Amino acid sequence: MLAYAYAMPELSVNIDHVATLRNARMGHEPDPLRAAHEVELGGADGVTVHLREDRRHIRDEDVHRLRDAVNVRFNLEMAATDEMVEIALAVRPHSVMLVPEGRREVTTEGGLDVAGQIAHLSDVVERFRGTSSFVSAFIDADPRQVDAAAEAGFAICEIHTGPYAERHRDHGGDLRQGPLADELERVRAAGERIRSAGMRFNAGHALNYHNVRPIAALEGVEELHIGHAVVSRAVYVGLRAATRDMRDLVGF
């Protein structure tokens, strides 16, 4: 049986695709900084951006401007490369989330293989020790990866909810369907293991207005990272309202 939380998780909104729209014309609008302020006014607890190696959406100058101006928690997603670590050490975001990155992928396609590169990732985590930045691992709901993240010294694990979102769509959100129930249970069990290891339990990827509530209701989940769904809805209702609508769902 699934366990449910009494305290609602916080919401961090990823604004990458505001920058994608700006870059389509190589201009200056829409401005990610204004987008950050809109999601703040909509009730977001944090702002997330992913500085990719190919700079396909968020750029270096965006990261610096946002860190100086954002009034809520600022989360920087990045690959675990020397270049990105140096940028993050200079910017000092509130949290740094290490993610796998492929040049040909449309979006992040899976969790970080912490177990397969534990020595390197332990070194990366160590470089942030003594700074104000918490370090998070974006991982699949796999006990082996949770245990490796704890060994590497991560403070936070964010569980990749993409497989759950796929099953939710396949089965129309019917939690009586075995494949969907199984995926939700995998996320729940991973979250319990994360918390038992003394790390924070976050979740994100492919969450939207239709599938977020069962994840938000899991016991101990502290923060959800949601981007594309919020920015997509903003086309119709505005970014502030889209954030408020998601905040209401997360708070159920």
Residues facing residue 78 across a β-bridge? 98
> Length of the chain, please?
252
Annotated catalytic residue within 160, 168, 205, 225: 205
How far is residue 190's CA from residue 94's CA, in Å, rounded to a whole number?
24
Q: Which residues of 212-249 are buried (b: 16+ CB within 10 A; e: fewer)?
A: bebbbbbebbbbbbbbbbbbebbeeeebbebbbbbbeb
Annotated catalytic residue within 10, 38, 40, 50: 50
| Whether the Cβ atoms of residue 98 and residue 121 lie closer than 8 Å to each other | yes
Determine whether 219 is an active site residue: no
Q: Which residue has the tokens 């930045």?
A: 133
Annotated catalytic residue within 10, 38, 40, 77: 77
Using a 10 angstrom Cβ sphere, with 0-12 exposed, 13-18 middle and 19 or more buried, the burial of residue 102 is exposed
Angle between the 60-69 and 82-91 helix axes, to the nearest 10 degrees? 30
Determine whether 28 is an active site residue: no
Helix (H/G/I), strand (E/B), else coil: 74: strand
Would you call the peptide bond into 30 cis, given omega within 30 degrees of 0 as the criterion?
A: yes
How far is residue 6's CA from residue 17's CA, in Å, rounded to a whole number?
32
Any idea which residues carry the catalytic annotation? 50, 77, 205
